[in-house]
Amino acid sequence: MNRVIIICTIVLLAATTSIQAQDTNVWSTLAKITYKKQMDEVMGFKVDIPVFSDDVKALEGKEVTIKGYIIPVEGYKSHNEFVFSAFPYNMCFFCGGAGPETVMEVYATDPVKYSAKQVVLKGKLELNDKDINRLMYALKDAVLVK
């Protein structure tokens, strides 16, 4: 009986570690990008276009679980669409503390209440290297895990 409890405990610890590893590794995987300069015909000047690594491309269309911070916007209480960051507001991309690979658009199935604390979301990852008016990452059909 003690062996069964010990084995179950080991299996649970391994599963928990695996889940936590995905949470922290998604942002580091999303950071594996380079950029190329490309002329934007509408804007009339060159813009940086993301070039996704094979590791990033492997996540496209997959369900991912990711930890991060909701970026507050004026009037934010509970929204289905918002910006999500790997870093707290004072360190996020929009504040000059990180790169564009550290934020994503979120499209939640149910409204998500704002919190200044780190939250965990799960959803389908989409990549964007075409529309310069959108972020390069989007989390679709997202749900709040915790």
CA dihedral 71, 74, 79, 85 (to 10 degrees): -10
Q: Could you state, in order of their start, the residue ranges of all structural domains in the chain? A: 21-144
At residue 93, the pLDDT reads: 66
Amino acid (one-letter) located at 52:
F
At residue 44, the pLDDT reads: 83
Beta pairing class for 137-144 and 103-113: parallel
DSSP track, 59-121? HTTSEEEEEEEEPP-TT-SEEEEEEEESS-GGGSGGGTSS-GGGEEEEEEEEEEE--SS-EEE
> Mind listing the pLDDT tens digit of every residue in the chain (146 residues)?
434 333 333 333 333 333 444 445 899 999 999 999 998 887 788 989 999 999 999 999 999 999 999 987 766 656 899 999 998 877 676 666 688 999 999 999 999 998 989 999 999 999 999 998 899 999 999 999 98
The CATH class of 21-144 is mainly beta
**Two tokens, residue 111:** 């409204």
At residue 25, the pLDDT reads: 81
